[in-house]
């Protein structure tokens, strides 16, 4: 007589590396051992739900004080609200040393990027961004503003005329960020800086 507990044993056999039975495995077990296919399909191990992403208390407090994280809002809801219908953005970080990367709180980096996107939504763009028209001449025009006393404020208007949002948002604890370039769900490009170091070359 066939062991009635066999499907469960099969599902548990791989141990900590358990994975669902493949179609080929189900066919072979059904053909050679006579185990009904519907039983094998039901014998697949349950897929454990992904543990929720947790943000440090310090970062939560900062975001709340900035008016960006709502009361009782989960971190994942906060991320979804910032992204809209866009997929999670790729966050590529270039660090001078491995030590810098190892001590970076990547969840806080993700939270800061989401906060930037939310903050940028307050800005009314003067034009729709046409990234294909942004060339070296446009970049030189922006760079020339750096010699002016009011250069930073002029740069905000310069970028707005190009359809690019500029955001200054303090860094979150554990991020070690100077700035980032992002894209909003409505396809508006965003340039953000933290002013983590009070140096004009960092702003530039």
Domain of 182, in residue numbers: 57-203
Instruction: Name residue 190's beta-bridge partners.
Output: 165, 182
Same domain flag for 34 and 116: no
Distance of CA 66 to the CA centre of its chain: 19
Residue 36 lies in a domain: yes
Same domain flag for 159 and 125: yes
Length of the chain: 204
pLDDT digits (tens, 9 = 90+) for 121-175: 877 777 778 878 888 999 899 999 988 989 888 998 899 888 999 999 999 988 8
Burial category of 19 from C-beta neighbours within 10 Å (exposed 0-12, middle 13-18, buried 19 and up): exposed
Residue 73 lies in a domain: yes
Same domain flag for 164 and 68: yes
pTM of the model as a whole: 0.65
Q: Which of 77, 31, 72 lies closest to 52 in space, CA to CA?
A: 77
Whether the CB-CB separation of 194 and 179 falls below 8 Å is answered with yes
Same domain flag for 134 and 84: yes
Residue 49 lies in a domain: no
In the sheet that holds 189-193, the strands lie side by side as 165-168, 189-193, 179-183
3 state DSSP class of 167:
strand
Q: Tell whether the model's pLDDT for residue 13 goes beyond 50.
A: no
DSSP letter assigned to residue 148: S
pLDDT digits (tens, 9 = 90+) for 39-90: 767 654 444 556 667 899 999 999 999 999 999 999 999 999 998 766 555 5
Q: What percent of the chain has pLDDT over 70?
A: 71
Residue 52 lies in a domain: no
Same domain flag for 94 and 185: yes
Residue 174 lies in a domain: yes
């Amino acid at each position: 007589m066939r062991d009635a507990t066999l499907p469960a044993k099969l599902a548990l056999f791989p141990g900590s590396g358990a994975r669902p039975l493949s179609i080929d495995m189900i066919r072979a077990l059904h053909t050679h051992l006579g185990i009904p296919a519907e039983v094998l399909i039901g014998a697949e191990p349950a897929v454990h739900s992904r543990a929720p992403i947790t943000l440090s208390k310090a970062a939560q407090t900062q975001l709340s004080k900035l008016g960006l994280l709502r009361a009782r809002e989960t971190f994942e809801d906060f991320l979804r609200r910032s992204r809209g219908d866009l997929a999670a953005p790729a966050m590529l970080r270039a660090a001078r040393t491995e030590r810098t990367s190892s001590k970076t709180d990547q969840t806080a980096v993700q939270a800061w990027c989401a906060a930037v996107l939310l903050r940028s939504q307050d800005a009314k763009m003067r034009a729709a961004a046409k990234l294909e028209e942004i060339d070296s001449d446009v970049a030189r025009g922006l760079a020339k503003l750096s010699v002016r006393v009011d250069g930073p404020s002029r740069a905000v208007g310069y970028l707005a005329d190009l359809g690019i949002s500029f955001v200054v948002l303090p860094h979150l604890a554990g991020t070690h960020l100077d700035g980032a370039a992002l894209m909003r769900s409505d396809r508006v490009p965003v340039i953000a800086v933290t002013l983590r170091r009070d140096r004009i070359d960092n702003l530039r």
